[in-house]
Amino acid sequence: MHKEKAVRVGLFVPCYVDAFHPDVGIATLELLERFGIEVDYPFNQTCCGQPMTNSGCHAESAATEALLVKNFQDYDYVVAPSGSCVHHVRFNLDAIAQTDAVRKVRQSTFELVEFLHDVLKVEAFPWAEFPHRVAYHNNCNALRGLGHASMSERRVEAFSKPLDLLRKVRGIELVQLARPDECCGFGGTFSVFEEGVSSKMGHDKVRDQSQSGAEYVVSADSSCMMHQQGCAERAGMPMKYIHIAQVLNGASA
């Protein structure tokens, strides 16, 4: 980021985050502002269209996708605290004609971790301290779709953008899961239409997290964590779930 020209960033707060995890939206906004960025929040935003497309209903997704583009076409960057929604915008925003504005929004939309790691190239989070044992949950769309980290399926050099960022947080202790990139079973509408398998996967995931000794599970996706937290609470497990934006913004617990 250079000083010559003020960069305009539009904050996209996906529907789940807006309704169930407003603190994640607030942390994202505050964190970006800590780096001197002017952040706009377009009031007429709703959703990226993924729930409909995910169910095969592309036609039903078109108007929502068009609204997203209308809201965000004038920004240099669009930033959202959700790997899943950004994955949809970048790779699956196909229900509408691919105009210049659509292409621009698709290219300029970044998930928060990517934006901090690849665009801002953040060196430090001096305000952040999180003296807890943390298991990181890689959302599948962020991991395999956006390339947040190396995946166990491929023979590639190991890397992880979210862990690079978390390692800059004072006091944090990262623990390893037995199946670090196994899907947790949320899967959007899968979580309710295929409730049995989804829940079984979720309960297996939270057992793995519990056995790792993690006090906190941190992720770049609230939707996966909403599902996992629901499973952990039902199973009486004590893990707490917190979004990476909150940890990087200096949340103490």
Partner 1 sequence: MNDDHAAVQAAMAAAAQATGGMLYPELAAQSDESVVKEGRRLDHAEGTSHPIRPPSEPQPRGARVRGNRRVSQSEAANRFIAATQHEKMHDERLWDLRQKRDRVMHRIPEWEELRSLASAIKEHTLTHLDEYLDQFEANARSNGIHVHWARDGAEHNRIVHNILRDRGATSLIKSKSMLTEECGFRDYMASVGVKVIETDLGERIQQLDNEDPSHVVVPAVHKLRTDVAQVFAKTLGTDPGNSDVHYLAEAQREATRPLILKADAGMTGANFVVAETGTFVVCTNEGNADLSANVPQLHIASIGIEKIIPRLEHLAVFVRLLSRSALGSPMTQYTSHFRGPRAGGEMHVVLVDNGRSKRLGMEEFWTSLKCIRCGACMNTCPVYRRSGGLSYGATYSGPIGLIIDPTFNRHKYSALPFSSTLNGSCTNVCPVKINIHEQIAAWRKVMAENHELPLMKKSAMKAAGILLAHPTLYRAAIASADVALNVLPRFAIYNRLNAWGRHREVPHAPHQTFHSWYRKNRGTQ
The interface with partner 1 within residues 102-161 (CB under 8 A) comprises 140-141, 144-145, 151-156
**Which one of 2, 4, 5, 43 is in contact with partner 1 (CB under 8 A)?**
43
Q: Decide whether 190 or 215 has the Cβ nearer to partner 1.
A: 190
- Cα distance between residue 211 and residue 219, in whole Å: 18
Q: Decide whether 72 or 172 has the Cβ nearer to partner 1.
A: 72
The token pair at 187 is 């899967």
Task: Assess 209 for contact with partner 1 (CB under 8 A).
Answer: no
Q: Decide whether 37 or 172 has the Cβ nearer to partner 1.
A: 37
The token pair at 152 is 């166990």
Contacts of 22 (CB under 8 A, 6+ apart): none
What are the phi and psi torsion angles at 77 (to 5°)?
-135, 145
Quick one: which segment of 14-22, 98-106, 125-133, 210-218 binds partner 1 (CB under 8 A)?
14-22
Task: Assess 30 for contact with partner 1 (CB under 8 A).
Answer: no
Smallest distance from partner 1 to CB 180, Å: 12
Q: Which residue has the tokens 């399926």?
A: 153
**Helix or strand run (H / E) with residue 5:** none
**Which one of 90, 106, 117, 227 is in contact with partner 1 (CB under 8 A)?**
227
Task: Assess 45 for contact with partner 1 (CB under 8 A).
Answer: yes
Q: Decide whether 162 or 187 has the Cβ nearer to partner 1.
A: 187
**Segment 48 to 67, residues that bind partner 1, using CB under 8 A:** 49, 51-64, 66-67
Tell me the number of residues near partner 1 by CB under 8 A: 80
The token pair at 208 is 């793995």
Task: Assess 20 for contact with partner 1 (CB under 8 A).
Answer: yes
**Segment 180 to 199, residues that bind partner 1, using CB under 8 A:** 181-183, 185-199
Helix, strand, coil distribution of the chain in percent, nearest 5: 45, 15, 40
What is the distance of C-alpha 51 from the center of its chain?
16
Helix ranges (H only) for the chain are 15-20, 22-34, 50-54, 58-72, 83-92, 100-108, 112-114, 140, 161-166, 190-193, 195-211, 222-235, 244-248
Task: Assess 208 for contact with partner 1 (CB under 8 A).
Answer: no
Q: Decide whether 17 or 169 has the Cβ nearer to partner 1.
A: 17
Rg of the chain over all Cα atoms, to the nearest angstrom:
18
**Which one of 31, 37, 47, 220 is in contact with partner 1 (CB under 8 A)?**
47
Contacts of 96 (CB under 8 A, 6+ apart): 62, 65, 66, 69, 102
Smallest distance from partner 1 to CB 159, Å: 15
